[in-house]
């Protein structure tokens, strides 16, 4: 496993991911624990709701996305640690049987002014279903450790 320091990320870099098939029973189990609403729990009850059928909780989609990120080749040194989000939305529902994968693009890389041993990368991660439709779009600011001994100017020069 390669761990990437801040200096190893560049704007425009793209990462893929593995895939997760979303099982109906997993949708219901997640919902029963964290989001017990009819459209996430039961096919018949879901039919007459805004979703028109069973759909995964958005938080389940977010959690599966995190699993794909952790298992991907992104591997920031110090872990995947979110400082906040510039954008976060679910353009369409995730249905039973959908197969999800990620496309992540680095949008910005910058050293911290106040914490010389770390920096931030801004990354857009789009979660796509098996017909390449986005089901989640998030732009996250991630805290990433700097390579020991590096200087701020070394990064800014790569801009």
Q: Does 11 bind its own copies (CB under 8 A)?
A: no
Q: Is the dihedral of CA 36, 42, 44, 50 positive or negative?
A: positive
Binds its own copies (CB under 8 A): choice among 17, 57, 104, 125? 57
DSSP symbols for 139-156:
EEEEEEEPPTT--HHHHH
Work out how close the CB of 80 gets to its own copies at its nearest, in angstroms, rounded to a whole number: 7
Which one of 63, 92, 97, 158 is in contact with its own copies (CB under 8 A)? Answer: 63
**Angle at CA of residue 94, ends 93 and 96, nearest 5°:** 135
Kindly tell me which of 49 and 150 has the beta carbon lying closer to its own copies.
49
Q: Which of 134, 77, 123 is nearest to 101 (CA)?
A: 134
Q: Does 72 bind its own copies (CB under 8 A)?
A: no
**Residues in touch with its own copies (CB under 8 A):** 30, 33-39, 49-50, 57-59, 62-64, 66-67, 70, 78-85, 87-90, 143
């Amino acid at each position: 496993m390669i761990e990437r320091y801040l200096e190893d990320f560049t704007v425009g870099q793209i990462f893929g991911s593995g895939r997760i098939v979303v099982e109906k029973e997993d949708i219901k189990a997640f919902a029963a624990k964290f989001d017990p609403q009819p459209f996430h729990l039961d096919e018949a009850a879901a039919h007459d709701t805004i979703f028109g059928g069973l759909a995964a909780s958005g938080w389940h989609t977010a959690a599966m996305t995190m699993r794909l990120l952790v298992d991907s080749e992104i591997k920031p040194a110090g872990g995947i640690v979110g400082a906040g989000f510039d954008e976060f939305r679910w353009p369409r529902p995730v249905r039973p049987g959908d197969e999800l994968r990620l496309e992540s693009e680095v949008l910005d890389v910058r050293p911290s002014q106040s914490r010389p041993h770390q920096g931030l990368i801004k990354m857009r991660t789009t979660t796509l279903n098996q017909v390449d439709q986005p089901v989640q779009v998030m732009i996250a600011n991630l805290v990433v450790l700097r390579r020991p001994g590096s200087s701020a100017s070394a990064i800014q020069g790569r801009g």
